[in-house]
């Protein structure tokens, strides 16, 4: 995957997650973006760029975080 392909896919994933890809949404969701980048790349090499798979992983992480923080 070339750099341009990855950046295009990254932009698409962010748009799917946040609807409006703007500076404010990036600032407000930097933790989610960090987690997405962590899932999408291993050692700087793009691995996973499919939105549906990333959303499933994200939902599991969010449930775990809620359980750890809130106990519910």
Spans of the chain, pLDDT less than 70? 1, 48-49, 58, 60-66, 68-69, 71-72
Give the model's pLDDT for residue 65: 62
Give the model's pLDDT for residue 26: 85
Chain centroid to CA 56:
11
**All domains of the chain, ordered by start, with CATH?**
3-70 (3.30.450.60)
Q: What angle do CA 6, 10, 15 make, to 5 degrees?
A: 150
pTM greater than 0.95 = no
Are 54 and 13 in contact, with CB atoms under 8 Å apart? yes
State the CB neighbour count (10 A cutoff) for residue 70.
7
């Amino acid at each position: 995957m070339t750099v341009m392909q990855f950046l295009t896919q990254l932009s698409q994933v962010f748009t799917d997650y946040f609807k409006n890809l703007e500076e404010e949404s990036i600032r407000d969701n930097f933790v989610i973006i960090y987690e997405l980048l962590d899932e999408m790349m291993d050692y700087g090499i793009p691995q996973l760029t499919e939105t549906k798979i990333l959303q499933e992983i994200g939902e599991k992480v969010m449930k775990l975080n809620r359980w750890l923080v809130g106990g519910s």
